[in-house]
C-alpha cells in the first residue's frame, strides 16, 4: 500500500501488514515515553508476560518432571501426581508446557527481533535515502509479501533443516517485510515534517537526523508491531508444527503440543485444553499490550484518557 | 516338511497348506482349503457366513487417505491409489480371503518347469471399451513393465525374464534364467495390471485416465474432491460387483476422515489411525478389519559412516529397545513386537528359534557399547514427519535407547527430503517403515542383498547374505527355501545390517451395513469388489 | 489515474518476472526429487534417473526456465509432472473454491465485526467494549486448527447440525454446498472478524473525535445519522485495505483450514505441490497468487482514492 501519509487516515491495524501511519503534530518528549509503563493497559499485560517468561526460563527449577522422560502411564487425566495429566507418550504435560514456553517464546522473540532489526534497517534506508535504493528495497519486500508463506516455509525448512535456529530465521524472514513497510511509512512521514526539513537546511548530518528525529518517532509503531508480531509468530510456529515443519521431537512447543493433541481430542481433551489456554492467554496479553502501547504512545489520543 | 508336486497347475504351497483335502473350484485350479482363518487378521470369518445373501445396488462412499497423484497402472503411487486402481484394472492373479493365490485374469497358472511360468488367459473378458482381452494384451502389459522407459515399479522383478511369449490355447509363457519361486506373487501385485494394448498405443494418457477389465468403470476425477467409478455390467465374474458404483473422496487429514466415517458422511475409510482404533472397535455401528503383520518399522544404518560401521554399536541398538514397550508407546498397543526375524509366523521362512532374541536388555546394550568404546553414545537419527506410522516408532525408539545410554538426536524431514537424505546417506541412522511387497520371504532381497535398493542405501554388502538371498530367490524347493531364509535371518540377527523394530496394525473401517469386505494380509484390496450394502 | 495504473502494471510485470525466477530457483534448490516421489519407495536409482530424463528435469536450469517461462507468457502454465493434468485448469478450479470460501468468510466476518466494532467504539472503555474486545482477542489468539477442529467436533459430530467433510459442487447440490461453507467460513472468518472488529473500533474512535462529527452532533443530528453519514464511510477505508490484503494472503495461506475441512482450494494444491516437488504446479500457483496480490493492491489503492479524495496518490 503506497498511499502517502498526509491522509488523516486513522492508525491502521498493524496485525495485518498495514503501514502504521499516524500524523504527528510534534515528537513526544523523551520523558513522556517512559510514562507509558504506568499506563494500566500496558503494565498489566507486560507484567503477566514477564512473569510467564521468567517461569519458562526457570523451567528446570520450576517443572516437576523432565519434559521428555516417559513416566509409564500415558494419557492420564489431570490428577495429583500430574497436575495437567500425561500425554500419549506418558510424559508430564505441565512440565512439557513450561519447557515448551521456552521454545515458543524463544522462537517468537528471536524471529521478531530478527525481523525488527532487518526491518528497521531496510525501512530506514528506503525511507530516508529514497531514490533507487528505496525502489529496490520496497519492491523486494513486495515480492516477498506476495510469496505464499507456505512455500517459503516448506522450502526453507527443506533447505535448511528443521532446527529451532532455522525456525527463527524462517519466521524472521517472513515477518521482515511488515516491519520494513511500517518503518518506511513512518520514516517517509517524519522526514517530510517541518522540523526535519529545518534540520537539513541547517546542515545536520543524516546520521544525526536519523538518530534524533526519525528513530524516536518510528519507535512507537515499531513497539506496537513487535508486541503484535510476537503473538503472530507464536501462531505461525504452531501452524508450522501442525504441518509437520516445526521443532523436532521430543522437544515440546506449544504449537506441537496442540497439534499432537488433536487426534486425542475426543477422548482426552485435557491434552488440547492446556496448551490452547496457554497460547491463547499469551497472545491475548501480547495483543492487549500492543493495543495499550498504541493507545498510550499515540499523542492524538492522549487527550481522551 | 512339505512336498512339492510337479503337476502343471499347482500353486506353491505354504507349510500351512498341509491340512485338509482338495476341492476343485471354478476354472480348474486345485484349491487347497485352509484349516482356519489366520489368527492375525482381525476379521471373523464366520461373520461372512452370517451376513446372508448379498443385495445389489447402492453407491459406496469411500474416504480415501491420500488423493492419488496419478492413475498410471504400472507405477506404485501408494496403497490408497491401489484401492482405486484395482477396481478398474485387473491382475493375472490375486488373493483369496485366506491370503492364498488364486487366478483373476488367469484361469489357470503354474510352473510348467523350473524356469517357465505359464498362465492361461481367461476367455470372454472384455475391457471397459468393449474390446476383448487377448493374449497379446497380456504380453504387451508385461513387456511394458519390463521396458526401462516405462520406469515401472515392478520392473526389477522381471530382471531374470528372458522371454514372454504366447503358447498354445490362450496361454502365455514367461521364461526365466533361473527358477524364481516368488514370481507368482508379482503377478498378483498391485502394480502389475493388465492393460489394453490398443488403448495405450492410441496415445491416451494413462496418468489421467483408466480403462481396464476391472469390476468398475472410471467415470471422472475431480482432484482433491472425488474419483467416481460406476459398475461394470460386463465384469467377468458373474454377479459381481453388487454396488452400482464407488465414489472415492480424498481426505488426507486423519481426524477429518474418521469424523466423516463416524458422522455418516462416508461409508468406508482406509488407513485408520491408531488413535481411533479403539473407538471404532468399541462402536457397534462400525467394523474394523486389520492385520498386525505386514506393516513394520526398521532402523537402518549407513555402513560407510564411523561408529555405526562397528557391529557392536548396531547390536547395542538392536538390544537396547524393548519392543513390547515400543508397541505401547508408539501405537497404544496396536501392533506387535519384532523380537527375532522379520518373516512373520505362517509365512515361509519364519524362524521360530529367533523369537525373543531382542528383548530390550539395556545392560547388555551398554556392555556392547563399552566393548565398542562409545559409552555413552550420541548420534543423529533421521526420520520423517510426514507419516506418523514412521515417526512414532522412531520417537519410541529414541525413548527406549535413552535407557541404554544411546542418545539419538531426532531430525524429522518431510517425505521427499527424507527419501533424498536416505539415498544420499546423510545420516548414520535413519528410521523408516513399510510393508511387505508380497507375502513371500523373497521380499527380504531388497534389504539384504547388496544389489537391493535398500541395501544400497544402507551401503551394505555381505557375501554370505548375498549367496543366501540368491539361493532363496532362485530355488524352487519349498523346504530348502524355508531353511535358507531361516538361516539368512539368523545371520542378519548376528551381523545386524539393519534393525527391525515393531509391526503396526493397519486396516480399514466401515459402517456396519457394509458387508462382503475382507482385509488381506498382502494389502491387496481386491475384496472391494465383493462389497454390498445391507440397507 | 491513467498514468498511475500504467506505472503499476509495469511494476507488475517486473515483479512477476522476479517472482518467477525466485520460485523456480527455490524449488530446484530444495532437496527432494519428484521423480523419486512418482516412482515409489522401491525405485532403483536407474529408474529415478530415467524418470528425471522423461520429466525433463535433468536439463540445464536455464533451458528449463526459458521453456517454462516462455509458456507462461503465452498463458500456458504447463502440465503437472505428478498428475499429468493441466496446471492452468487445476488452478482455475481450485481458485474458484478458495475465493468462494474467502468471500463467505469475509462476508461473515464483516457482518459480525462491523456492527460489533462500532458498538465497541461507541461504548469505548465501558464493559460492553471490554467484553467485545476480549471476544475479538480470542479470535486472534487461537490457532485456526483449534477453532476449526472444535467447531467440527461440536457442530459436526456431536450436534450433527452440519455435514462437514465431503465436498459437493455447487452445480450438483447448491443447498448442500452452501451448508458446507458454514463451518470453514466461520473458522476462517473468526480470526478475520477479530481483526476487523478491532480495526473498526479504533478507526471509529478516531473518526468520532473529528471535528465534523462534533459539529454534526452539535447540530443535533441523531446519533445514528451521525454515524451512518459521516463516520462509517471513513472508517471503512482501512477495512477495505485489510480485506484486500487478507484475500491475497489467504489464497496461499488457508492450508490448515482447507485440510481440516477437506476443502479443495488453492492452498492445498500449493502445499501438495510443494511436498511432491511438482514444479509446474508450484510455479504456476505462486505466479498466479503473486499477480493477484499485486492486482488487488492496485484495486485497493484505487478504491481508497475513490472513497476519500483527500488521499494523494503519488
Instruction: Write the DSSP string, B344-398.
Output: PTTSTT--GGGTTS----HHHHHHHHHHHT-SSEEEEEEEESS-HHHHHHHHHHH
Q: Is the pLDDT of residue B25 over 70?
A: no
Predicted local distance difference test score (pLDDT) of residue A302: 39
Interface test with B, best of A249, A266, A269 (most B CBs within 10 A): A249
Q: Which of C42, C69, C36 is nearest to C55 (CA)?
A: C36
Alpha carbons B499 and B355: distance in angstroms, whole number: 14
Chain C residue with minimum CA distance to A160: C30
Rounded to a whole number of angstroms, the distance from the CA of A224 to the nearest CA of chain C is: 14
Residue B321 pLDDT exceeds 90: yes
For β-strands B335-337 and B268-269, DSSP reports them as unpaired
Checking B253-257 for CB contacts under 8 A at 24+ apart, the result is B253/C259, B253/C260, B253/C262, B254/A263, B254/B65, B255/A262, B255/A263, B255/A265, B255/C149, B255/C260, B256/C152, B256/C164, B256/C165, B256/C259, B256/C260, B256/C261, B256/C262, B257/B63, B257/B65, B257/C165
Predicted confidence (pLDDT) per residue in A102-125, tens digit: 888 999 999 999 999 999 889 888
3-state secondary structure of B214: coil
Task: Give me the sign of the Cα torsion angle C187, C190, C192, C193.
Answer: positive
Provide the pLDDT for residue C174: 76
* Confidence band of A21 (pLDDT split at 50, 70, 90): very low
Instruction: Tell me if B390 sits within 8 A of B297, measured CB to CB.
Output: yes
Give the pLDDT of residue C238: 65
Angle at the Cα of B55 from the Cα atoms of B49 and B57, rounded to 5 degrees: 145
Comparing CB atoms, the residue among C54, C83, C156 nearest residue B70 is: C83
**C-alpha angle B369-B375-B376 in degrees, rounded to nearest 5:** 125
- Residue C284 near residue C243, CB atoms below 8 Å: no
Residues of chain B with Cβ-Cβ distance to C36 below 8 Å are: 416, 419-420, 423
Taking 60 as the threshold, does the pLDDT of residue B2 lie above it? no
- Phi, psi dihedral angles at B378 (to 5 degrees): -130, 125
CB contacts of C246 in chain A (<8 Å) are 16
Residue of A nearest to C257 (CA): A239
| pLDDT the model gives residue B30 | 28
- Residue identified by cell 505354504 is B14
Q: Could you read off the pLDDT of A195-252 as tens digits, one per residue? A: 777 777 777 777 777 777 777 777 877 888 888 888 888 888 888 887 777 777 788 8
Our CA-based measurement puts residue B118 at a distance from the nearest CA of chain C, in whole angstroms, of: 26
B486 touches chain A (CB under 8 A): no
Nearest to C274 among A151, A239, A255 (CB): A151
Report d(CA B300, CA B358) in Å as an integer: 16
pLDDT of res. C309 = 56
Determine if the pTM surpasses 0.90.
Answer: no
Contact list, A264 vs chain B (CB under 8 Å): 275
Scored b (16 or more CB within 10 A) or e, B56-74 reads eebbbbbbbbbbbbbbbbb
pLDDT of residue C159: 72
Q: How many helices (H) and strands (E) does chain C have?
A: 14, 0
* Closest residue to B411, CB basis, from A162, A245, A266: A162
Dig out the grid coordinates for B265 from the structure. 458422511
Radius of gyration of chain A (CA): 22
- What would the grid cell of residue C159 be? 450436534
pLDDT at A2 over 60: no
- Which chain C residues are within 8 Å of A279, Cβ to Cβ? 141-143
Residue C77 phi, psi dihedral angles, 5° rounding: -90, 5
Nearest to C17 by CA among C274, C275, C294, C279: C294
Of the candidate ranges A218-227, B331-340, B394-403, the one whose mean pLDDT is the lowest: A218-227
Q: How confident is the model at residue B153 (pLDDT cuts 50, 70, 90)?
A: confident
ipTM: 0.78
Residues of chain C with pLDDT under 70: 1, 156-157, 160-172, 211-217, 220-239, 241-242, 304-314
CA dihedral A158, A159, A165, A167 (to 10 degrees): -50
CA distances to B27, B205, C211 from B9, rounded to whole Å, are 11, 37, 99
Cβ neighbours of C270 in A, within 8 Å: 148, 150-151
> Nearest by CB to B395, which of A89, A245, A262?
A89
Amino acid at each position: 500500500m503506497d498511499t502517502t501519509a498526509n491522509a488523516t487516515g486513522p492508525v491502521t491495524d498493524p496485525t495485518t501488514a498495514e503501514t502504521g501511519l499516524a500524523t504527528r503534530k510534534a515528537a513526544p518528549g523523551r520523558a513522556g515515553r517512559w510514562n507509558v509503563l504506568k499506563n494500566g493497559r500496558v503494565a498489566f499485560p507486560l507484567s503477566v508476560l514477564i512473569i510467564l517468561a521468567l517461569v519458562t526460563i526457570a523451567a528446570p527449577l520450576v517443572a516437576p518432571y523432565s519434559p521428555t522422560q516417559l513416566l509409564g502411564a500415558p494419557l492420564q487425566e489431570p490428577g495429583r501426581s500430574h497436575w495437567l495429566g500425561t500425554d500419549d507418550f506418558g510424559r508430564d504435560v505441565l512440565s512439557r508446557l513450561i519447557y515448551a514456553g521456552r521454545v515458543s517464546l524463544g522462537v517468537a522473540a528471536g524471529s521478531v527481533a530478527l525481523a525488527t532489526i532487518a526491518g528497521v534497517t531496510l525501512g530506514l534506508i528506503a525511507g530516508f535515502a529514497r531514490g533507487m535504493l528505496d525502489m529496490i528495497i520496497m519492491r523486494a519486500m513486495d515480492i516477498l509479501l506476495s510469496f505464499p508463506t507456505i512455500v517459503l516455509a516448506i522450502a526453507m525448512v527443506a533447505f535448511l533443516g528443521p532446527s529451532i535456529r532455522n525456525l527463527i530465521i524462517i519466521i524472521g524472514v517472513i515477518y521482515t517485510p511488515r516491519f520494513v513497510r511500517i518503518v518506511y511509512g513512518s520514516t517517509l512521514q517524519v522526514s517530510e515534517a517541518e522540523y526535519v526539513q529545518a534540520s537539513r537546511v541547517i546542515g545536520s548530518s543524516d546520521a544525526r537526523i536519523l538518530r534524533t528525529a526519525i528513530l524516536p518517532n518510528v519507535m512507537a509503531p515499531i513497539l506496537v508491531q513487535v508486541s503484535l508480531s510476537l503473538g503472530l509468530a507464536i501462531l505461525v510456529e504452531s501452524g508450522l508444527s501442525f504441518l509437520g515443519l516445526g521443532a523436532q521431537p521430543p522437544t515440546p512447543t506449544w504449537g506441537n503440543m496442540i497439534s499432537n493433541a488433536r487426534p486425542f481430542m475426543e477422548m482426552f481433551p485435557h491434552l488440547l485444553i492446556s496448551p490452547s489456554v496457554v497460547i491463547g492467554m499469551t497472545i491475548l496479553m501480547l495483543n492487549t499490550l500492543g493495543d495499550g502501547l498504541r493507545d498510550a504512545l499515540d499523542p492524538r489520543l492522549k487527550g481522551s484518557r | 516338511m512339505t512336498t512339492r508336486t510337479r503337476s502343471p497347475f499347482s500353486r506353491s504351497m505354504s507349510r500351512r497348506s498341509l491340512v485338509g483335502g482338495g476341492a476343485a473350484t471354478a476354472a480348474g485350479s486345485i484349491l487347497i482349503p485352509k484349516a482356519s482363518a489366520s489368527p492375525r487378521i482381525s476379521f471373523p470369518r464366520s461373520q461372512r457366513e452370517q451376513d446372508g445373501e448379498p443385495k445389489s445396488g447402492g453407491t459406496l462412499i469411500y474416504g480415501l487417505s491420500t488423493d492419488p497423484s496419478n492413475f498410471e497402472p504400472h507405477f506404485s503411487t501408494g496403497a490408497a491409489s491401489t484401492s482405486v486402481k484395482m477396481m478398474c484394472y485387473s491382475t493375472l492373479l490375486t488373493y483369496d480371503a485366506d491370503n492364498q493365490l488364486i487366478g483373476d485374469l488367469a484361469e489357470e497358472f503354474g510352473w510348467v518347469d523350473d524356469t517357465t511360468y505359464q498362465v492361461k488367459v481367461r476367455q470372454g473378458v472384455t475391457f471397459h471399451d468393449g474390446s476383448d482381452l487377448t493374449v497379446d494384451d497380456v504380453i504387451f502389459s508385461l513387456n511394458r513393465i519390463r521396458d526401462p522407459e516405462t520406469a515401472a515399479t515392478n520392473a526389477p522383478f522381471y530382471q531374470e525374464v528372458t522371454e514372454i511369449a504366447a503358447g498354445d490355447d490362450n496361454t502365455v509363457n514367461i521364461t526365466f534364467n533361473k527358477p524364481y519361486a516368488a514370481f507368482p506373487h508379482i503377478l498378483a501385485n498391485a502394480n502389475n495390471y493388465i492393460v489394453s494394448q490398443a488403448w495405450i498405443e492410441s496415445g491416451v494418457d494413462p496418468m489421467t485416465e483408466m480403462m481396464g477389465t476391472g469390476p468398475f468403470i472410471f467415470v471422472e476425477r475431480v482432484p482433491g474432491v472425488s474419483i467416481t467409478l460406476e459398475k461394470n455390467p460386463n465384469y467377468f465374474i458373474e454377479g459381481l460387483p453388487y454396488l452400482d458404483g464407488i465414489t472415492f473422496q480424498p481426505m488426507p487429514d486423519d481426524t477429518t476422515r474418521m469424523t466423516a466415517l463416524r458422522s455418516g458422511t462416508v461409508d468406508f475409510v482406509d488407513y485408520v489411525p491408531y488413535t481411533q482404533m479403539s473407538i471404532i472397535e468399541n462402536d457397534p455401528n462400525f467394523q474394523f478389519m486389520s492385520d498386525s503383520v505386514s506393516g513394520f518399522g526398521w532402523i537402518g544404518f549407513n555402513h560407510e559412516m564411523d561408529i555405526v560401521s562397528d557391529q557392536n554399536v548396531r547390536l547395542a541398538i538392536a538390544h537396547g529397545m524393548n519392543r513390547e514397550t515400543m508397541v505401547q508407546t508408539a501405537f497404544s498397543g496396536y501392533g506387535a513386537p519384532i523380537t527375532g526375524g522379520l518373516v512373520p509366523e505362517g509365512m515361509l521362512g519364519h524362524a521360530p528359534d529367533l523369537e525373543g532374541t531382542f528383548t530390550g536388555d539395556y545392560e547388555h546394550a551398554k556392555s556392547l557399547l563399552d566393548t565398542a568404546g562409545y559409552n555413552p553414545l550420541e548420534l543423529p537419527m533421521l526420520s520423517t514427519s510426514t507419516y506418523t506410522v514412521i515417526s512414532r516408532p522412531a520417537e519410541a525408539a529414541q525413548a527406549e535407547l535413552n535407557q541404554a545410554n544411546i542418545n539419538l538426536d531426532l531430525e524429522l524431514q518431510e517425505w521427499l527430503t527424507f527419501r533424498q537424505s536416505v539415498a544420499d546417506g546423510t545420516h548414520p541412522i535413519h528410521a523408516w517403515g513399510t510393508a511387505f511387497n508380497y507375502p513371500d520371504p523373497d521380499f527380504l532381497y531388497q534389504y539384504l542383498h547388496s544389489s537391493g535398493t535398500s541395501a544400497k542405501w544402507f551401503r551394505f554388502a555381505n557375501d554370505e547374505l548375498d549367496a543366501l538371498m540368491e539361493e532363496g530367490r532362485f530355488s524352487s524347493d519349498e523346504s530348502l527355501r524355508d531353511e535358507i531364509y531361516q538361516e539368512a535371518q539368523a545371520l542378519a540377527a548376528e551381523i545386524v545390517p539393519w534393525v527391525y523394530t515393531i509391526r503396526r496394525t493397519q486396516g480399514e473401517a466401515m459402517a456396519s451395513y457394509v458387508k462382503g469386505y475382507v482385509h488381506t494380509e498382502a494389502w491387496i484390496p481386491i475384496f472391494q469388489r465383493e462389497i454390498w450394502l445391507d440397507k | 489515474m491513467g498514468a498511475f495504473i500504467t506505472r503499476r502494471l509495469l511494476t507488475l510485470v517486473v515483479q512477476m518476472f522476479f517472482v518467477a525466477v525466485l520460485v523456480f530457483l527455490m524449488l530446484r534448490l530444495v532437496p527432494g526429487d519428484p521423480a523419486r516421489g512418482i516412482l515409489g519407495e522401491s525405485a532403483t536409482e536407474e529408474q529415478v534417473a530415467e524418470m528425471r530424463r522423461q520429466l525433463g528435469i535433468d536439463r540445464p536450469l536455464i533451458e528449463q526456465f526459458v521453456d517454462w517461462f516462455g509458456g507462461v507468457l503465452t498463458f500456458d502454465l504447463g502440465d503437472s509432472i505428478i498428475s499429468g493434468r493441466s496446471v492452468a485448469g487445476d488452478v482455475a478450479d481450485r481458485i474458484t473454491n478458495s475465493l468462494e470460501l474467502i468471500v463467505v468468510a469475509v462476508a461473515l466476518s464483516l457482518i459480525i465485526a462491523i456492527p460489533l466494532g462500532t458498538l465497541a467504539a461507541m461504548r469505548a472503555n465501558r464493559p460492553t467494549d471490554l467484553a467485545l474486545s476480549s471476544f475479538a482477542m480470542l479470535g486472534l489468539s487461537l490457532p485456526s486448527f483449534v477453532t476449526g477442529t472444535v467447531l467440527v467436533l461440536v457442530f459436526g459430530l456431536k450436534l450433527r447440525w452440519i455435514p462437514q467433510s465431503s465436498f459437493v459442487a455447487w452445480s450438483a447440490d447448491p443447498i448442500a454446498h452452501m451448508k458446507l461453507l458454514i463451518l470453514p467460513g466461520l473458522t476462517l472468518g473468526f480470526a478475520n472478524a477479530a481483526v476487523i472488529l478491532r480495526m473498526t473500533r479504533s478507526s471509529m474512535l478516531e473518526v468520532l473525535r473529528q471535528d465534523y462529527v462534533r459539529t454534526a452532533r452539535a447540530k443535533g443530528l441523531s446519533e445514528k445519522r451521525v454515524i451512518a453519514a459521516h463516520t462509517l464511510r471513513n472508517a471503512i477505508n482501512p477495512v477495505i485495505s485489510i480485506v484486500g490484503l487478507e484475500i491475497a494472503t489467504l489464497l496461499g495461506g488457508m492450508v490448515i483450514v482447507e485440510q481440516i475441512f477437506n476443502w479443495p482450494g488453492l492452498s492445498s494444491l500449493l502445499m501438495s505441490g510443494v511436498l511432491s516437488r511438482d514444479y509446474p504446479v508450484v510455479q504456476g500457483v505462486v505466479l498466479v497468487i503473486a499477480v493477484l496480490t499485486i492486482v488487488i493492491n492496485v484495486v485497493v489503492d484505487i478504491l481508497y482514492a475513490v472513497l476519500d479524495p483527500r488521499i494523494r496518490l503519488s
